[in-house]
Amino acid sequence: MRTIVLFAMSLWPALGASAADADVERRIGELVARMTLQEKLGQMSQSTSLRTPLSDAIKAEIRAGRWGSFLNAGDARDRAEAQRIATEESRLKIPLIFGRDVIHGYQTVFPIPLGQAATWDPDLVRQAAREAAREAAADRITWTFAPMIDIARDPRWGRIAESLGEDPYLASQLGAAMIRGFQGDSLAAPDSLAACAKHYAGYGAAEGGRDYNSAWLPEILLRDVYLRPFQAASQAGVATFMTAFNTLNAVPATADSFLLRNILRGEWKYEGMVVSDYEAVTNLIAHGYALDAREAARKAIRAGVEMEMVSTSFYDHAAELLRAGQITMQDIDGSVRDILRLKFRLGLFDPRPVPPPPDPQRTLAVAEKTAEESAVLLRNEGRLLPLSKSIRKIAVIGPLADSPVDQMGTWSMDGRADFVRTPLAALREMLGAGRVIYAPGLINSRDRSRAGFDRAVSAARQADAAVLFLGEEAILSGEARSRAFLNLPGAQEALVDAVAAAGKPIAAVILAGRPLTFHDAAAKIPAILYCFHPGTMGGPAIARLLFGDASPSGKLPVTFPRTVGQVPIYYAHLNTGRPPLAGDLGVPMGNPANPQGYRSKYIDVDYTPEYPFGFGLSYTSFRYSPPELSAKTLAAGGRLTITAQVANTGPRASDEIVQLYTSGPLGGSVARPVRELKGFRRVHLEPGAAVQVKFTITTEDLAYYNPKMQLAAEPGPYRA
Ligand code: GLC
């Protein structure tokens, strides 16, 4: 660590907005002038009711301009027919926009976003989004409800799977990369999708990790942590935002003008379109924030929601709200303009050529590389891994070794199970079926029966090593899948005990949608590879990693607790006034004459995480030189470089993700986290090779919010 003394003044986030093309604005103006109120409210309405074959009723509604958008409905043919009716048979020929949850792939599925975050590889994440956009656009999808950039620090929350982890810098970098991937160089390109920054905001702070629950965030934490990825998304040009289901400090995010007008429009000068989440507008009634749908519509429209997803309060009540003067035509026209502008930017008003079919080989190659880089090696005692390809036999145990749907993880509704290559299939292909003995041991990850244990133990006994596939089924992960316990579900821990008793070397591959707790099981398993639901090509990636054709390089994007009782636990915490002493892991309480423990720790578990943020082993080893600073002081608006040499001191080539953390200042206007991620770089090193890695730090990089909500890098000593 090195100390930087900083003399800095306050800085404001860069503002930036590009005005839409003047011609488009003219065309929008002409259209709005011709639209009836019902046609305007139709544009502000999104439906799921597109079914094969299109009903006469929905055709008539499209013809009448009842809907501006459909989501998660129909197939490509339905969308083509609906679009034909809208652009040929409706009065104003306004095209529809088709939205869908293309979260981490379309038919080819990439690792869940939490797994993509473990790659710490923005360009690869961009490539994955680009491939997903190509596949979805070929199916006439033009809008994806991704990236999900909610900061997630609670593994009980099922949607941590969709997140890019706990850190605002990492989530900002990767969220912006996804946006670039989805939106391509131009939204009007036939293989581009409009992206959607969601869920704005604070959803990941749901109390108790229980989905949809209340979020309480002091503004300083909201701005310093939870809003940063959204501001980065706005700066990256994300076409749309989606409002969140939760209340933020007792105000539902879907009716929060502080979020939607003060910050999004006022401070960030955002010019895109804002859609609600699914029935989140009429959820205001259940929140107790609206008496009825009419009031829900009023509050959401006045706050800045522009398109209503699925519920119909805007269409049903806006006219009477206008008549009562409770909303204005400016509210309506502003929303319609933003919706039309999105459609113009997507080129939907002009004949949009059908995109070229994606290249399946390229898509699968990106899927495999992403799965490979997303795997995190947590343990490798005695260098058990990589296994030797000359091994006589291996036992593959666990239902997740051969479960295509589970391997794809949550939000893979379009994922093609027939595309999936499972670990079992890949291992059989690599070693020959005769050298692989498979015994699921359990029916699925929740199975509590031990009826399959004997076969599993027998398989281990016949083999030279056993590879245990543990973790969670996909159904245990994602939206409305919060878990109060984080242990391996079902009888998996008992399965570990039974297989370990066979006395053969054991490696485990854990497929999950969140950090799990497996402290006792880990003590019986010398090597553990953690793969957040790795997607279509998880099998070949895992086989290559297990047998050394690739070296694990993933790093944890989220902290792993020892027990759920530690949650929330994250690395960028404050030091407290009574931090535990190094090595003071709690539990011993001294004696009555000399009690100890008046420090911030637990008396029944080690306060440190099981595996920390940024952690991940490799098949080689690296040595870092002490970082060198280009200067000891940093003036306001200045910059300095931090350089270190990284050497591969081990036997194998591998990637390493060099991470830069800073802390400070000491003595500022607020206590600051013990460290914060400020940079990272992936380097590839052959055995014996070394490389110099240089980071540039500016006062803007060090800026944080002070109690007056000013974004400032206050003077004082910082450490890198
Ligand atoms: C869901 C999710 C949101 C998704 C939307 C459309 O409830 O909260 O992330 O994009 O509805 O499926």
CA distances from 367 to 111, 419, 543, 576, 643 (A): 8, 11, 14, 42, 33
Distance CA 594, CA 628 (A): 43
Please say whether the structural domain 1-13+620-720 has been given the CATH code 3.20.20.70: no
Residue 126 CA to ligand 1 center (angstroms) comes to 22
Q: Which residues of the chain have pLDDT under 50?
A: 5-17
Side chain identity, residue 346: L
Q: What is the CA radius of gyration of the chain?
A: 27
Clarify whether 277 is annotated catalytic.
Answer: yes
Distance CA 275, CA 446 (A): 36
Report the pLDDT value the prediction gives residue 588, as an integer from 0 to 100.
67
Residue to substitute in 479, 481, 482 for testing ligand 1 pocket (most ligand atoms within 8 angstroms of CB): 479
Report the pLDDT value the prediction gives residue 52, as an integer from 0 to 100.
85
Query: Which DSSP state fits 579?
Result: P
Distance CA 179, CA 149 (A): 11
Residue to substitute in 71, 278, 310 for testing ligand 1 pocket (most ligand atoms within 8 angstroms of CB): 278
The full set of domain ranges for the chain reads 1-13+620-720
**Coil vs helix vs strand at 712:** strand
Q: Which atom of ligand 1 is nearest to the CA of 245?
A: 8
Distance CA 102, CA 267 (A): 29
* Nearest CA, atom 1, ligand 1: 278
Report the pLDDT value the prediction gives residue 645, as an integer from 0 to 100.
98
**Coil vs helix vs strand at 485:** coil
* Nearest CA, atom 12, ligand 1: 101
* Whether the bond into 423 is cis, omega within 30 of 0: no
Side chain identity, residue 170: L
Spatial contact of 535 and 176, defined as CB atoms under 8 Å apart = no
Strands (E), 544-653: 590-591, 594-595, 622-624, 628-629, 633-635, 639-648
Q: Ligand 1 within 6 A of 560 CB? A: no
Distance CA 674, CA 399 (A): 41
Q: How far is CA 89 from the centre of its chain?
A: 40
Q: Ligand 1 within 6 A of 314 CB? A: no
Report the pLDDT value the prediction gives residue 3, as an integer from 0 to 100.
53
Residues 6+ apart with CB under 8 A from 472: 406, 445, 489, 511, 512, 513, 514, 516
Q: What is the pLDDT of residues 260-298, one digit of tens each?
A: 999 999 999 999 999 999 999 999 999 999 999 999 999
Q: Ligand 1 within 6 A of 48 CB? A: no
Distance CA 346, CA 597 (A): 61
Nearest to 373 by CA among 166, 507, 550: 550
Side chain identity, residue 152: A
Residue 99 CA to ligand 1 center (angstroms) comes to 11
Strand partners, 527: 380, 507
Q: Is the dihedral of CA 312, 314, 315, 316 positive or negative?
A: positive
Q: Which atom of ligand 1 is nearest to the CA of 162?
A: 9
Distance CA 82, CA 61 (A): 10
Report the pLDDT value the prediction gives residue 18, as an integer from 0 to 100.
53
